Structure 1
């Protein structure tokens, strides 16, 4: 196994450290200040469109997000380098936050959002677009499938789950992360909805 590239490693360490600070130092006001609160809740601050991604609700939430970051983010960082990798992640996280803010405004939800899942779904979409025929085996279900199939299946699950009704999971934020990644990749390549000459991937 190749070593973890630096940005992926740093992000995994930061998310893990923040989670254990949440767990062990409960007197620290991390969630009130850094979770993504709905616009009408009175708790929203602009920096939360980024900081919410470093907080996680429980250990399994953290575990699966860090596993996905290791599986998909490591290879993308080695391909793109730290700068573009961070740009893609930031676009995914911010787009996920904006979609979730619109969703909570429309539904009247007052619950905060936490987790790196929006960024992870952006990485997932990017991996599927760059390596569509790569065969991967997810943990759930443990069935070998091509990366593009994996992206389509999980994207469809998120859409249907979001339309099904409230579940405590920010399904539309996950879709927003995929949208942010797609927009960033399109901008790099000079494709619609962006004009101009093709850009280096």
Structure 2
């Protein structure tokens, strides 16, 4: 999801990403808020994503962003604005593409054409025409704002810890040269 589609008007943009790095099952997640990014986490998936369809979901509310794969939470990014951490607050739209990025590795062009397939694509969101998310988007009328979505359930916490222990291969929080005050609370 991006607040600056097609790289337009990127000033202070927000972005919440699932990024597949090649075809070897490496999935990267990232959160940008007010153009402050580099909060990547990479996972080696427990399946081959090129062999079958899987479910990828993002829950984003005023309390947390949760990335799910096949209903299993793999990443949590809490709203830590009280600690001075930027949190996505701009309206966003879905952008799905295949693109080459030097940081993601080499492209074997002999494997072209590169094709992505999506099925049962669904979006639930708060409609807004404003430049920022309005208070109405925090209403309990929306499922994702209900109390049970303010944090992971005990079962989800257990799944989260298991997946991260077995499949997390990179976490920006491990970079001790940078201060990331949100890291201790994103568990």
TM range (shorter): under 0.3
Q: TM-score, normalised by structure 1?
A: 0.25
TM-score normalised by the chain length of structure 2: 0.26
- Higher fraction of strand: 2
More helix by share: 1
